[in-house]
């Protein structure tokens, strides 16, 4: 933690264990290519990537490897996070008005 010149803490130094990025239509290349590389170089242990722009949402957990991030293999639709020690999946349902709703399930 970095102390402020006058009082308190103003910044945290270091790399987060996990980063979550939700892909946007306007910045898809930034979210999936540029940030993926930058987060790897920064030492982020897991990069969670969600893309709900299509008919079926995409959810990946990418783990830090020696040459870049590699995708965690799904087992029965679930992804295991080494950071949290749990399994996750993204489920899409529809609300009463027909709009998509997303739930991150944990086990």
Instruction: Record the tokens describing residue 35, joined without a space.
Output: 């940030």
Which residue shows structure tokens 């008919």? 55
Distances in Å between the alpha carbon of 19 and those of 6, 7, 29, 103? Answer: 30, 28, 17, 18
Indicate the pLDDT class of residue 29, thresholds 50, 70 and 90: confident
Domain boundaries, the chain: 16-106
Mean pLDDT within 75-89: 97
> In 3D, which of 42, 46, 68 has the Cα closest to residue 59?
46
Q: Is the pLDDT of residue 87 over 90?
A: yes
> In 3D, which of 107, 78, 103, 105 has the Cα closest to residue 92?
103
- Are the beta carbons of 25 and 53 closer than 8 angstroms? yes
Report strand pairing: 46-51 vs 18-22.
parallel
Indicate the pLDDT class of residue 105, thresholds 50, 70 and 90: very high
Which residue shows structure tokens 């242990």? 45
Q: Is the pTM of this model over 0.95?
A: no
Q: Is the pLDDT of residue 96 over 90?
A: yes
């Amino acid at each position: 933690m970095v102390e402020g010149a006058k009082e308190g803490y103003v910044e945290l130094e270091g790399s987060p264990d996990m980063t979550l990025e939700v892909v946007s239509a306007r910045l898809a290349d930034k979210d999936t290519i540029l940030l993926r590389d930058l987060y790897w170089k920064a030492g982020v242990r897991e990069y969670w990537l969600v893309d709900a722009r299509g008919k079926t949402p995409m959810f990946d957990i990418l783990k830090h490897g020696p040459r870049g991030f590699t995708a965690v293999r799904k087992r029965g639709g679930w992804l295991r996070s080494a950071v949290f020690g749990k399994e996750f999946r993204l489920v899409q349902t529809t609300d009463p008005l027909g709009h998509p709703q997303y739930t991150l399930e944990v086990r």
